[in-house]
Amino acid sequence: MRKINKEVVIEVKNLRKVFKLGKEKVVAINKMDFEIHKGEICCILGTSGSGKSTLLNMMAGLEKPTQGYVKILGKEVTKMNEKKLAIFRQNNVGFIFQSYNLMNALTAIENVSLPLVFRGVSRQRRNKEATKLLKAVGLETHLKHKPTQMSGGQQQRVGIARSFVGNPKVIFADEPTGNLDSKTSEEVLQLMERIVKEKEQVLVIVTHDGSVTKYADKIIHVLDGNIKEVEIIDQSERVITEEKEEIKNEEKTV
């Protein structure tokens, strides 16, 4: 059973985003309020055009809100200038992208260690941490491989390792399994769940895929820029169900 700490890591308050299209105003996000706690995996679930990507962008400080604020670790990221925001993200935030966003000219170990370059970490220490993470995601034999030498699933594993380098407090994942087959998606989600659990981090996943939500402690259903429902999930029930299924499968094998 995953124990969720009551410490608030992300606070979203009265968040609103309005885009101007000519003379018209389009409300992309309409007065959202919610909290995400330490150790929590939160899924923001919605169809295309629901506002979930705009919400993620504002949470990550990539877009400024029209109204309201986002606080991460007690810091109001929506008020930070670009320089302060860049430093804050370097020290506290990791990103996982649907399109992997790897540098084709770099090896796996170089891609993973790249965020540490901006922190001024020595090459030896960077390579040591990157190697450790790549081994954790099952790519110990691909350290010197470039993205073009790896499958989609392997590239996404490199992306996951990169997002966790430097032990960030928060990881934002934008449709992290969108380009993967169902088997690889399952492996990737299990991998992220295991790391987040071990390190008591926060993982925010934006997705349109309902199957991803089985790993979530909290599901925020978004529709037309509004929160339709916030679901709190008891993950102990899933663990018990999976254990029963494993026992049944073992009995069948015997």
Q: What does residue 37 show for φ and ψ, rounded to 5 degrees?
A: -100, 165
pLDDT band of residue 193 (cuts 50, 70, 90) is very high
Amino acid 5: pLDDT: 60
Answer with the residue of higher pLDDT: 114 or 237. Answer: 114
Tell me the two tokens of residue 134: 């790549």
pLDDT, tens only, 9-60:
999 999 999 999 888 999 999 999 999 999 999 999 999 999 999 999 999 9
User: DSSP strand E in the chain: where?
Assistant: 8-21, 24-37, 41-45, 67-72, 75-76, 93-97, 170-174, 202-207, 218-223, 226-232
pLDDT score recorded for residue 1: 46
- pTM for the predicted model, two decimal places: 0.87
Question: Average pLDDT, stretch 192-198?
Answer: 90
Average pLDDT, the chain: 89
Which has the higher per-residue pLDDT, 73 or 179? 73
Using the predicted structure, report yes or no on whether residue 254 has a pLDDT greater than 60: no
What is the four-CA torsion angle of 40, 37, 84, 119, rounded to 10 degrees?
-40
pLDDT of 249 > 90? The answer is no
pLDDT at 101 over 70: yes
Question: What pLDDT sits at residue 239?
Answer: 52
- What pLDDT, in 10s, does the model give residues 130-148? 999 999 888 999 999 999 9
- Identify the bridge partners of residue 232 per DSSP, sorted by sequence position: 218
> pLDDT at residue 240 above 50?
no
Domains of the chain: 9-253 (3.40.50.300)
Distance in angstroms (rounded) separating the CA atoms of residues 139 and 181: 18
Mean pLDDT of 203-229: 95
Spatial distance between the Cα atoms of 126 and 114, rounded to a whole number of angstroms = 8
